[in-house]
Structure 1
Amino acid sequence: MSAIHESIERFFRSGLKLPHLRILVSLADLGQVTRVASAFHVTQPAISKQIAEIEHALGVPVVNRSGNSVELTGIGQVIVACGRDVLRHIEMARRDVSALASGTGGHVRLGAVVTIPEPLTVNAVQLFLRRAPNASLSFVEATLDRLIKQLEDGDLDVALGRNRVNSMQTQLKQETLHREPFVFVAGAHHPLGAPERALDWHDLNACRWITPLHGSPAYATLIETLTAHDLALAAGSVESSSLALNLALLQGGEFLSILPLSVARQHAMRGTMRVLPLPPLEPLGEVVAYWRADATLPAAQLFVACLREASNEALGE
């Protein structure tokens, strides 16, 4: 084994430290030693010394210097890419240990509209139950107006919806977790469902639709979009707030509809649905969490934190 390979083996076996990873990841993000030093509240020579220690231990350079800026070498980029995952898992462990040490218990009542992406809800619930094994959780699906009413009446602790509510008329807190567009979809057996078929708005003429419930913002946005392209709902269209029913009808091949991109993509990958090559409905893309402004239940606060983390994970942040 060459001297360089021996140095690399030794570095990863016993020389690599968490501060090394934190510094290299920060260098990748900030690009200058002075900025990294400021972020870590240390002097520039201290950061330069750490970089020199890494390169000496490895036996190969991890950065190229150009004036005040630094650029990662290919080796440095590999360490940073893996280091991000390591630091993320360490942070997750810290959160889990902190939650377990606090002994969080209680019962969280969660509600959501049907179009919230399933992975977001599932991942948040799994995070919560792992960090608060002494707590329990209940879950309901309903329209947003009913969820808001239940929150205001104290029958729910946290809710997930697709629209911000008027903060002047409610004592709820609300936070946008992430944004994703709604897209037009057809089942694989629909005449428009062939993946190789080109498409224009006029091809949607006389098609039967599954729409959100009349009076909802999603319904209004869909109708406005269709009207703008001289289209109207055909006879035999269906209004539904049931995602299970909508998916079953779509897969039957007779209807078009709109779905959140994350939901549509799952079914498109399975070959049961096609995302139509039409502009998405951007205004419907928010996923919003709501909770009572006077809520002090630690379990509910922890669940909101888990929602944020699950949302960031879904976005790859």
Structure 2
Amino acid sequence: MEPISPITLERAFRYGLKLGHLRIITALARVGRVSRVAELFNVTQPAISKQLGELEQLLGAPVVARSGRRVVLTPTGEVLLKYGRQILYNLEAAQRELEQLREGGVGHLKIGAVATTMPTQVAKGVVRLRQRAPGLTITLTEATTDTLFPAVRDGDLDMVISRTRIDRTVEEYGALEERLISKDPLVIVCSSLHQLAGRKSLRWADLSPYTWILPPDGSAIHDGLMRLYKKHSLRPGVGTITANSIAVLPALLANSQLLGLMPRAYVVELVDRKLLAVLPLTFSRTAQEVRAVWRRENENPAVRLFLQSLSGELGIESA
């Protein structure tokens, strides 16, 4: 590819490059097809193609290339994506803060969380947050980290609460901050009527005859459980159930021989009521850490207030 001339670049960035071009590039990187980008923007496919052609003419270099049925970004397109994401995010952050000023500090906080933190750390933190900011609009989204981390990176979420550390080897996560907010171990649970309930000691091999309620594929907890089973030459049983909801587990486990993973903070009451039992096996020490993740540039008042609410409700055990 021939280098872009300085004059062409100067003209493109001073007079021709539009926010619409950056929005198309970021959307294309996410979905990989011009037709899908057109659907997202509610315009025709030729309209998106025209915008891409206009951008390439401005820069004097291709920004996309075909790869089978998908469209991928060229090195030029990747540079636009890298800085375009930041520009669009900063504009959205400015809009949010201006709205908060206009509304006297009332704003909108978008929180994402994995299933094992939503009903405990997140729910308690939100209750405390609403006591301090009753006019704040809050949106909660439950998903796995492979969905949540890109969403907070792109500005679709303000904060994520999960049990997974950020992969610092991924360059695009460089703008993310994280903080340990609590420790809440995941425990292996079953019905109080289960054949293994009440056992003082167990080996992993003792679990081999039983079927699991598994976290969804793509979650760090699912991957950790599969690694443990591989280490002990086991399989999670026939007829497994996949569930991305902690709330459904007690009903599924009751009066059955199923096994599941649940946060200790959520299980305590159910064990006291003799509905569930905790088995004496350690799942993973790393999965016990609950962390808040947010963009460095997104230190707006609502984010700071929620961090304080999480800390005040739960107590930070480590810096």
Same fold judged by TM-score > 0.5? yes
Amino acid at match of 1:241: N
Q: Which residue number in structure 2 is paired with residue 184 of structure 1?
A: 188
After the TM superposition, which residues 278-317 of structure 1 pair with which residues of structure 2 at under 5 Å, given as runs? 278-312=281-315
- 1:276 equivalenced with 2:255 (yes/no): no
What's 1:153 paired with? 154
Task: Tell me, yes or no, if structure 1 residue 174 matches structure 2 residue 178.
Answer: yes
Mapping for residues 105-116 of structure 1, pairs under 5 Å: 105-116=106-117
Q: Corresponding residue for 2:34? A: none
Q: Distance in 1 between matches of 2:217 and 2:108?
A: 34
Question: Residue in 2 aligned with 1:16?
Answer: none
Q: Deviations over 1:4-39 (max 9, x none)?
A: xxxxxxxxxxxxxxxxxxxxxxxxxxxxxxxxxxxx
Aligned residue pair count: 213
Contact 2:216 2:243 in 1 (8 A): yes
TM-score, reference length from structure 1: 0.61
Take 2:192 and 2:227, find their aligned partners in 1: how far apart are those partners? 26
Equivalent runs, 1:21-100 vs 2, <5 Å: none
Following superposition, the deviation at residue 144 of structure 1 comes to 1.4
Among 227, 230, 235, which residue is 1:227 paired with? Answer: 230
Q: Displacement, 1:112?
A: 0.8
Measure, in 1, the Cα distance between the counterparts of 2:140 and 2:294.
14
What is the letter of the counterpart of residue 177 of structure 1? I
Amino acid at match of 1:214: D
Runs of 5+ unmatched residues, structure 1: 1-102
Structure 2 residues not aligned, in runs of 5+: 1-103
- The normalised TM-score by structure 2 is 0.60
Give aligned-pair identity as a percent.
Answer: 30
Q: Report if aligned partners of 2:250, 2:276 keep a CA contact under 8 Å in 1.
A: no
Instruction: Report how far residue 121 of structure 1 moved.
Output: 1.9
Give matches, 1:243-258, under 5 Å: 243-258=246-261
Larger radius of gyration: 1
Task: State the distance in 1 between where 2:120 and 2:219 align.
Answer: 24
Give the deviation of 1:288 after TM superposition. 0.9
Q: Which amino acid aligns with 2:180?
A: T
Q: How many Å apart are 1:117 and its aligned residue?
A: 5.9
What is the aligned-residue RMSD (CA, Å)? Answer: 2.5
**2:187 counterpart SS class:** strand
